[in-house]
Amino acid sequence: MDEIYKIASTERIQVLEKELATQLTELKRERELALKKTLQVAESKSLVIQPDVMQRELESCLKREYTPENLPLLLLQ
């Protein structure tokens, strides 16, 4: 195995190899964070039953805004 890769003897190459090792760990960390971010799922919306919504809207439309009970109070304002 020692014959396959020999550590370079010059100082510049050793510095570059150390920089490469740190860059690889940073790249690995960035990739891991990106994957975790893409795997996050937003919380699901609450279930809305359309007939119930339509029924509430219909009831609010049919409800009288001004009644004989609250009209005198509104006139006094």
pLDDT at site 71: 77
Summarize pLDDT for 13-34 with one digit per residue, the tens.
Answer: 888 888 998 999 999 999 999 9
Q: What percent of the chain has pLDDT over 70?
A: 90
Q: What is the pTM of this model?
A: 0.40
Say if residue 7 is exposed, middle or buried (CB neighbours under 10 Å; 0-12, 13-18, 19+): exposed
Under 8 Å CB-to-CB from 7, ≥6 apart: which residues?
A: 14, 17
pLDDT at site 6: 65
Residues 61, 56: Cα–Cα separation, whole Å: 9
